[in-house]
Structure 1
C-alpha cells in the first residue's frame, strides 16, 4: 500500500466522520456556529466554510441567505436569459456541470439558478413574505419571459423560518396573504416553507 493510498483513504475517513458528527450536531447546536467550521487535514482543506459549503447545502443559513427563489429546467439552459436580462441571480449552473463546492462533488442533472429574495430574519416570516411579494411584482415580467421560453421549468420560493414551539407553546400557525398567493400562482411558482430548529445565541 503506497503512501498516496493511505493518504487518500485517511482523507475519505476524515470526511465521512466529520459529515456524520456535523449532521448530529446540527440537530442540537446553532447552525451558524457550525457554519464557521473550517477543517484542515494534512494541509488539505476539507470544508471551506459557510460561503461555499453550508451556504450551498442549507438555504436560509443565518448570515447567508434568507428567502430564495430557485429556478430549474431539465431541458433548457438559462444562460442566455441571465446574460440578456437584469435578473439578480447569485448562483447558476448548467446541466452536466460538477458542483465542486461541496466536499462530495455532485453532477447537476438540470439547468438552474437562484436569487436572493429577502434577507429578513428567520423569526420574521411575514417580513420575508412581504419582500417576496415585492420581488415578484418587480420581476414578474422577466419571470413570465423565461417561463415562455422554457417548457419544462420549476420555480420555487423557499422561506426558511424558526420553529416557535417550546414547553409553553404547543402549536403555531403562519399566514400567507391571498394577494401574494394569487401572484405566485399566476406565475406558476411553488411555495416551500423550510422549518428549522431555533438557533441559540
Structure 2
C-alpha cells in the first residue's frame, strides 16, 4: 500500500480546494454519494474526502514511503499550505500502509520509524500521521469473508 494523503471534511469543498491549490493526481469521494458503487441505494458518504498518493513504495518498504513522502511534501509545500487556509477540513492525514511482520516465531515486535524531518514537515502543514498495518494475507481473508457472506 502506498502512502496516501487523505483530506476530509463534512462540508469540505474539494473541487474548490484543488482549483486553488493546483495540486494534481487526486481522487475525490463526495459527501452523499454511495459508499459502495454496486449499492447505489445503500449507505451514503457522510464526508467529502480527497486522496493523493505521496509514495508508490510497497507495504514492505516503509523507509522508501517516508523518503518519497518527504520529497512530495517539499516539492508541493506551497500548494499544500492551502490545507491550513481552507475552511471545513476536519482533518488531513498522511496514511502509511505497512505489512504486519510479526510472525510469533522470528519476529515478536514491530516498530516503524518516522524521521524528524517528516514529522516537522507534516506538523508545519497541519498534517497528522497514521500508520495502517495490514496482515500479509489480507486479500485471502477478504475473499474468505466474501465467500462466507454469499453462502449465508
Q: Same fold (TM over 0.5)?
A: yes
Counterpart mapping for 1:46-195 below 5 A: 60=1, 66-101=2-37, 103=39, 105-166=42-103, 167-195=105-133
| TM-score calculated relative to the size of structure 2 | 0.78
Matched length: 136
Q: Distance in 2 between matches of 1:172 and 1:115?
A: 27
Once the two structures are superposed, residues 105-148 of structure 1 have per-residue CA deviations (whole angstroms, 9 ceiling, x without a partner) of: 43121222111111101110011011111111112211212430
User: Is there any run of 5+ residues in structure 1 with no aligned partner, and where?
Assistant: 1-59, 61-65
Name which structure has the greater RCO, CA cutoff 8 Å, separation 6+.
2
Q: Distance in 2 between matches of 1:119 and 1:168?
A: 28
Highest CA radius of gyration, 1 or 2? Answer: 1
Q: Residue 151 of structure 1: CA displacement?
A: 4.5
Q: Distance in 2 between matches of 1:106 and 1:172?
A: 36
User: Is there any run of 5+ residues in structure 2 with no aligned partner, and where?
Assistant: 139-152
* Counterpart contact for 2:81–2:125, Cα < 8 Å: yes
Q: Distance in 2 between matches of 1:125 and 1:196?
A: 13
Q: Distance in 2 between matches of 1:192 and 1:174?
A: 11
